[in-house]
Amino acid sequence: MAVSRRAAVTGLVALGLGLPAIRGLALPASRPWLPRPVELASGEILAASRARLPFTAAESRGYGYNQTSPGPLIRVRKGEEFRIRIANHLNEETTFHWHGLICPTEADGQPQNPVLPGESAEVAFPILQRAGLSWYHPHPHGATAKQAWHGMGWAVSL
């Protein structure tokens, strides 16, 4: 008998909800929660930087934006101009890729257009798409996974 994907997921969720009630099994009383991100207004600076990572109970350092990880939330609306100043405060090159936003190639943080350490630039383009949730992350050649894994990436809300 084949089990549907929906039945399997429902069963796993039900099992997960029942586990704390089983004697001898308990979930930790306090787990770290991700902080609510600050919002970045249009025209402000978004800087790739070192940041404290809240993902573990122990204090750890990694990468982020504006010294936080997750980075700031950026809200834009259809018909508005997306305008932001990007800066690289890391000791290595990075890019700012607007994943899911419809934008010109030269503004989209492609690996062939890195932002070198200490450099900054302005990115501007019109928002022509409907509401959604997109995200930004680094896309430097050969270092995308490393930078994203170490904390860089967050959301753009339309």
pLDDT single digits (tens) 29-50: 565 566 677 898 777 899 999 9
Q: What is the pTM of this model?
A: 0.73
Task: Residue 42: give its domain's CATH number.
Answer: 2.60.40.420
pLDDT single digits (tens) 92-121: 999 999 988 999 998 999 999 899 999 999
Tell me how long the chain is.
158
Query: What's the average model confidence in pLDDT over 78-91?
Result: 93
In angstroms, rounded to a whole number, what is the distance separating the alpha carbons of residues 113 and 101? Answer: 17
Whether residue 20 is contained in a domain is answered as no
Domain count, the chain: 1
Domain that holds residue 109: 32-157
* Per-residue confidence (pLDDT) for residue 8, from 0 to 100: 67
Whether residue 21 is contained in a domain is answered as no
Whether residue 49 is contained in a domain is answered as yes
Whether residue 124 is contained in a domain is answered as yes
